[in-house]
Amino acid sequence: MSAARVLTWEVSASRGFETAWVQVRDGVLRARGRAVGTEPEPYWVTYDLDAGDGFVTRRLRVTVETAGGSRTLDLRHDGGGGWSADGERLPAVDGALDCALGLCPLTDSVPVLRHGLHRGPGEVELLMARVSVPDLAVRPARQTYTHLRPGRIRYACGDVRGDLECDEEGFVVDHPSPARRLAAV
């Protein structure tokens, strides 16, 4: 793996922040991150994301802490289109290649990288295994990404629509949720 990049975003939608340590090499992404927010309730999140060959998500492990206690989720993709959460099958998201961790700009970089949308033309509509924060419920969601020009991608998911700004490596700089990257090292 290459040296880790450290990316930090201000996430207005949660009135919080996220920092991720990310390594990318040869179509593989590994990340670990932490986020804190106050909407919809005060919480903090820790996660580990593993996207294997061709930037296909293999596993997301998440822990959320709130005033009510902690929750964990171990979301796994079997490589053949099936998903499970904590060992239980999730047929509603079968066929998805990605997960989207709510209020987490990093997870939008995975499909952008896989399809090279930060660099060249294309449009994809993807089924996502969407993980809401802070309850960690997993639901299917359709997200569309359309290349507009290098570094700019039109994004749509439910009521959230707008343009993603990505850096030359495909990592989200600005997100219409809204979230804005503060630093990258």
The terminus-to-terminus CA distance of the chain in angstroms comes to 16
pTM to 2 decimals?
0.92
Residue 168: its pLDDT value, please? 93
Residue 165 near residue 184 (C-beta atoms within 8 A): no
The three-state DSSP-derived secondary structure of 5-63 is EEEEEEEHHHCEEEEEEEEEECCEEEEEEEEEECCCCCEEEEEEEEEEHHHEEEEEEEE
Beta-carbon neighbour count of residue 25 at 10 Å?
10
User: Which pLDDT does position 126 carry in this prediction?
Assistant: 96
Pick from 33-37, 89-93, 172-176: least confident: 172-176
Report pLDDT for 150.
96
Q: How confident is the model at residue 2 (pLDDT cuts 50, 70, 90)?
A: low
Q: What mean pLDDT comes out for the span 48-59?
A: 95
pLDDT, mean of residues 10-29: 94
Could you count the other beta carbons within 10 Å of the beta carbon of residue 138? 23
What are 67's strand-pairing partners?
A: none
Q: Which neighbouring-strand residues pair with 184?
A: 7
Q: Which two tokens stand for residue 126?
A: 């993807």
Instruction: From 26, 25, 22, select the one nearest 8 (Cα to Cα).
Output: 22
68's CB contacts (< 8 A; 6+ apart) are none
pLDDT digits (tens, 9 = 90+) for 91-133: 999 999 999 999 899 999 999 999 999 999 999 999 999 999 9
* Pair of tokens at residue 164: 């993603």
pLDDT over threshold 80, residue 149: yes
Mean pLDDT in residue range 36-40: 94
Mean pLDDT in residue range 165-179 = 89
Backbone angles phi, psi at 15, to 5 degrees: 50, 50
Q: What is the arithmetic mean of pLDDT over 171-178?
A: 86
Q: Quick one: pLDDT band at residue 1, thresholds 50, 70, 90?
A: very low
Please indicate whether residue 2 or residue 43 has the higher confidence score (pLDDT): 43
Using alpha carbons, select from 163, 165, 169 the residue that is nearest to residue 185. Answer: 169
Q: 38 phi and psi, to 5 degrees?
A: -120, -5
Residue 63 pLDDT greater than 80, yes or no: yes
